[in-house]
Each structure stands twice: as C-alpha cells, then as structure tokens.
C-alpha cells in the first residue's frame, strides 16, 4: 500500500478538459438502452416530469436525451466553470444545475425519482478519499422512497485501472490515465458486482446487474452497471 500524499486537483483537471471541449458528446449507448430498451431483466418505468439527477454530468451529454424523454432534469458538477457551461448550453434548465460532489450533493432530501451516476460515483474527494459510505448516504438522501438508482462503475479490469496502485482495501490511485485527466485520482474500486451490492444494500433493494465488456480498439471498456430501488 502507498501513502495518500498526492496533490491531485479534480476541479482543475476536469474544468480544463471541459473548457477545451466545444461540442457536447453523444449520450452513452448504455444510458440510451437503459431508458429506451426492453430486456428480460429490465423494463425501466418512469413517468413524464419525474425528477432525475445527473450526478457528475460532465459535458452534459445525457441532459438533452433525458429531457426529451419528458423527465425534469437536474444536475451537479464539481466546479463553477463546468456548471456555468451547462447553464449556457441548456438555458431552459439553468436553475436546475448546482455545484456538488458525490459526498455532498447540493439538493434537498427525498427530492429525486431517479439518480443517474454514469461514471462518476466512484471518484473520491481528495479531502476524504476513503469514505465511499458517504457517497452511498448522499445518493440515498436525495432520492425519494422507491426512487431509482442507476450507476456505471468500472471493473477492476477496465483500462482506467491499468497501472493503478492499491492505496487501501477497495481504493486505487490512478496512474498513466490514457486520457490524462485522472492521474492521482483515488477511486473506489470494487472486486465484483456483489461487493457493489454490499455497499448499497443497507439503503437499496431490488438490485439488477448488467455489464459492459468490450475491447474498443485497444481500450478495455469493462463496466459494472447497477440499477436499484431506494428502500
């Protein structure tokens, strides 16, 4: 194990990345399939005007897609620049975006019908990097009873963890990030899907698991997907 003395500054790195980006990306195929597809283990039910939180929305690539489904879309990001950019890009929703992190979601309790955290909930705050419990507590807090949680989390075999170092049980520091944004970021790294379920089962039930496993031209996109209901 190694000491946590790194000086990683997530706000600086992500803000720099999103400041450079002029176009909004397309929604992830997995998100489209979850909301629009019908599968033996999943027929997602949602109603028009239900409130959805896009936690760590990035460039906002899911915002218009979710809005077009009739959902009332809210979002958080970690810096004022990233939030302001989304406010500019999605003017009609600008009141719905806040600065926040997975361990401090800046919204009222029992507020959302759905919480989407697509590749974001496992990014740990450098000031409290081994407290994933706090993330679970926050996601639970802002969801209504029976609210839906939708998560994507990289598998240990994902390209993101290549050359990463274990810093504590269940936590790894990213090294040699292919996209050069995450070097030094501590992430909650799960051994398998049941370990994820274990972290959430105090507050959530009806777990549905799925998985993405592709090698995309040399990058291992290996992801756990989890859908659950708040108790």
4, 50, 98, 119: residue in contact with ligand SAM (rule CB under 6 A): 119
Shortest distance (Å) from residue 54 CB to ligand SAM: 7
Shortest distance (Å) from residue 26 CB to ligand SAM: 10
CB 50 within 8 A of CB 72: yes
Strands (E), 20-66: 51-55
Shortest distance (Å) from residue 105 CB to ligand SAM: 8
CB 61 within 8 A of CB 26: yes
CB 149 within 8 A of CB 204: yes
Closest CA to 227 of 46, 27, 25, 103: 46
Which residue, 57 or 204, is less far from ligand SAM as judged by CB?
57
Q: Is 57 in the site for ligand SAM (CB under 6 A)?
A: yes
**206: Cα within 13 Å, side-chain hemisphere:** 14
Shortest distance (Å) from residue 94 CB to ligand SAM: 18
Residues numbered 6-25 forming contacts with ligand SAM, rule: CB under 6 A: 10, 14
74, 90, 107, 118: residue in contact with ligand SAM (rule CB under 6 A): 118
Report the alpha-carbon distance of residue 21 to residue 33 in Å, rounded.
26
Q: Which residues bind ligand SAM (CB under 6 A)?
A: 10, 14, 28, 56-58, 61, 77-78, 101-102, 118-120, 123, 125
């Amino acid at each position: 194990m190694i000491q946590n003395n790194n000086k990683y500054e997530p706000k600086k790195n992500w803000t720099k990345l999103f400041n450079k980006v002029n176009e909004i990306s397309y929604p992830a195929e997995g998100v489209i399939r979850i909301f629009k597809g019908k599968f033996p283990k999943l027929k997602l039910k949602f109603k028009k005007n239900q409130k959805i939180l896009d936690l760590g929305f990035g460039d906002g690539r899911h915002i218009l897609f979710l809005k077009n489904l009739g959902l009332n879309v809210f979002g958080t990001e970690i810096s004022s620049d990233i939030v302001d950019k989304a406010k500019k890009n999605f003017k009609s929703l600008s009141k719905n975006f806040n600065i926040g992190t997975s361990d401090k979601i800046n919204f009222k309790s029992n507020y959302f019908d759905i919480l989407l955290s697509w590749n974001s909930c496992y990014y740990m705050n450098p000031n409290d990097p081994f407290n994933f419990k706090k993330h679970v507590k926050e996601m639970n807090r802002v969801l209504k009873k029976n609210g839906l949680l939708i998560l994507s989390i990289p598998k240990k075999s994902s390209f993101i963890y290549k050359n990463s170092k274990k810093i504590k049980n269940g936590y790894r520091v990213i090294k040699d990030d292919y996209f050069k944004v995450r070097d030094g970021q501590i992430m909650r790294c799960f051994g398998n899907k049941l370990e994820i379920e274990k972290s959430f089962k105090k507050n959530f039930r009806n777990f549905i698991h799925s998985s993405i496993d592709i090698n995309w031209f040399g990058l291992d996109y290996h992801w756990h997907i989890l859908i659950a209901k708040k108790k």
